[in-house]
């Protein structure tokens, strides 16, 4: 196990700047998730850590060794590929024992290690099969088994669950979490699924266009997003947003709606801002999640455009400030289309971002 340090790590593909000098410190045993939209440089970053991609600039350290120019095999890392990348001409056991075989361990050691990993992942009956004879979920397990057997300093995962169906993905997510708890290993996990990131990670790194937008615990990135981008990326359904101008201490929206400035913020007169409010913080009266005591709550009569019952909750769609907003109704009851409900908007939990830079205006 080891720490992992990225200092102004840079990657250029010819003229294209894919990763722009990112800094990141991963503690020993920490689980860090790299999230961001497609093409933001997550895989590139991971592949630089793995040694599969040349580093154009900056420094990469595992433990206290600088590994910039070491080949992958000298970095003592394991990687689970999105495609699993199992060796099709080897059995499951051979796949899992391959790294030890290359390292020149004797057959007995290899067998013990493979058996142990197979037991942990519950794939003992599959050991003699070939990858072609496995289901997608089983291949996924074998790929993880191959990573475990190596007993690396750092585990790297590149979207390991994205080829699985929703149910299996949920199940494997839990297993990865248990596995991490059990092995206590340092993990860098790339995903574009923010739920995966939230549930698994100790800290989340949100990337966009080759730069890090925010690093923080799931709680921090959810409750104190550093930018409009982070706010819209984390959380499902996504945060509701609307642009406004600050005049006479209030938010004036383009359609004429007016809200007070949320209490946690002080903004200059005339500034263009974006108000962000999570679906959890707009709900019909008596159907909210959070306590309202001491909160600045706005009350509005709004017609429901559409409702999506999910059983334990219902998502309501309604127009606020000219935008189509989503509201979350707990303890739901039947809501008819067009029905006018009294909505509470908990402005104490709202966010304000600069309309131009997208950065948070929280002090």
Q: Which residues bind Mg ion (CB under 5 A)?
A: 43
Residues facing residue 79 across a β-bridge: 156
Closest Cα partner for 176 from 153, 154, 151, 196? 196
Q: Which of 32, 35, 79, 304 touches other proteins by CB under 8 A?
A: 79
At a CB cut-off of 8 Å and minimum separation 6, what does 294 contact? 348
For residue 42, the minimal CB distance to Mg ion (Å) is 5
At a CB cut-off of 8 Å and minimum separation 6, what does 269 contact? 246, 247, 248, 249
Residue 26 or 148 having the CB closest to ligand ATP? 26
Residue 18 or 62 having the CB closest to ligand ATP? 18
CA separation for the pair 275, 191 (Å, rounded): 28
CA separation for the pair 350, 277 (Å, rounded): 5
Residue 43 or 214 having the CB closest to Mg ion? 43
- Binding partner at 134 among other proteins, Mg ion, ligand ATP, none, C-beta below 5 to 8 Å by kind: other proteins
Contact string (CB under 8 A) for other proteins, positions 52-71, x = contact: x------------------x
CA separation for the pair 355, 336 (Å, rounded): 35
Residue 189 or 283 having the CB closest to other proteins? 189
Residue 136 or 322 having the CB closest to other proteins? 136
Q: From 17-25, 124-132, 318-326, 339-347, give the range in contact with other proteins by CB under 8 A.
A: 124-132
Q: What is the DSSP string of 105-133?
A: --HHHHHHHHHHHHHHHT-GGGTTS-GGG
User: In the window 84-103, what residues touch other proteins (CB under 8 A)?
Assistant: 84-89, 98-99, 102-103
Residue 20 or 362 having the CB closest to ligand ATP? 20
Closest Cα partner for 40 from 19, 16, 10? 19
- Binding partner at 16 among other proteins, Mg ion, ligand ATP, none, C-beta below 5 to 8 Å by kind: ligand ATP
Token pair for residue 83? 């495609």
Q: Which residues bind other proteins (CB under 8 A)?
A: 50-52, 71-73, 77-79, 81, 83-89, 98-99, 102-103, 130-137, 139-140, 146, 150, 163-164
């Amino acid at each position: 196990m080891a720490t992992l340090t990225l200092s102004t790590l840079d990657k250029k593909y010819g003229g294209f700047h894919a990763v722009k000098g990112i800094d990141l410190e991963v503690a020993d045993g920490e689980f860090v998730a790299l999230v961001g939209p497609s093409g933001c440089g997550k895989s590139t970053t991971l592949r630089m850590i793995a040694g599969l991609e040349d580093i154009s600039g900056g420094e990469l350290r595992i433990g206290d060794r600088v590994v910039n120019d070491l080949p992958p095999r000298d970095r003592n890392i394991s990687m689970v590929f999105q495609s699993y990348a199992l060796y099709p001409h080897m059995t499951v056991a051979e796949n899992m024992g391959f790294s030890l075989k290359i390292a020149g361990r004797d057959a007995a050691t290899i067998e013990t290690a493979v058996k142990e990993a197979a037991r942990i992942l519950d794939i003992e009956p599959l050991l003699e099969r070939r990858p072609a004879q496995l289901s997608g979920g089983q291949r996924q397990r074998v790929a993880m088994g191959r990573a475990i057997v190596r007993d690396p300093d750092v585990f790297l995962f590149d979207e390991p669950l994205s080829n699985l169906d929703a149910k299996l993905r949920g199940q494997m997510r839990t297993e990865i979490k248990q596995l991490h708890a059990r092995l206590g290993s340092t993990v860098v996990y790339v995903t574009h699924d923010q739920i995966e990131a939230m549930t698994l990670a100790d800290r989340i790194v949100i990337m966009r266009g080759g730069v890090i937008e925010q690093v923080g615990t799931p709680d921090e990135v959810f409750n104190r997003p550093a930018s409009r981008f982070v706010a819209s990326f984390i959380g499902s359904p996504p945060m509701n947003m609307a642009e406004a101008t600050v005049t006479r201490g209030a938010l004036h929206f383009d359609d004429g709606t007016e809200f007070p400035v949320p209490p946690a913020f002080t903004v200059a007169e005339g500034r263009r801002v974006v108000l962000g409010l999570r679906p959890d913080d707009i709900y019909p009266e008596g159907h909210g999640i959070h306590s309202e005591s001491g909160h600045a709550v706005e009350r509005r009569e709004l017609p429901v455009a559409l409702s999506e019952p999910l059983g334990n909750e219902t998502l309501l769609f309604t127009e606020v400030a000219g935008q189509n907003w989503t509201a979350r109704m707990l303890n739901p009851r039947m809501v008819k289309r067009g029905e006018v409900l009294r909505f509470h908007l908990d402005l104490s939990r709202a966010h304000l971002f600069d309309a131009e830079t997208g950065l948070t205006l929280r002090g």
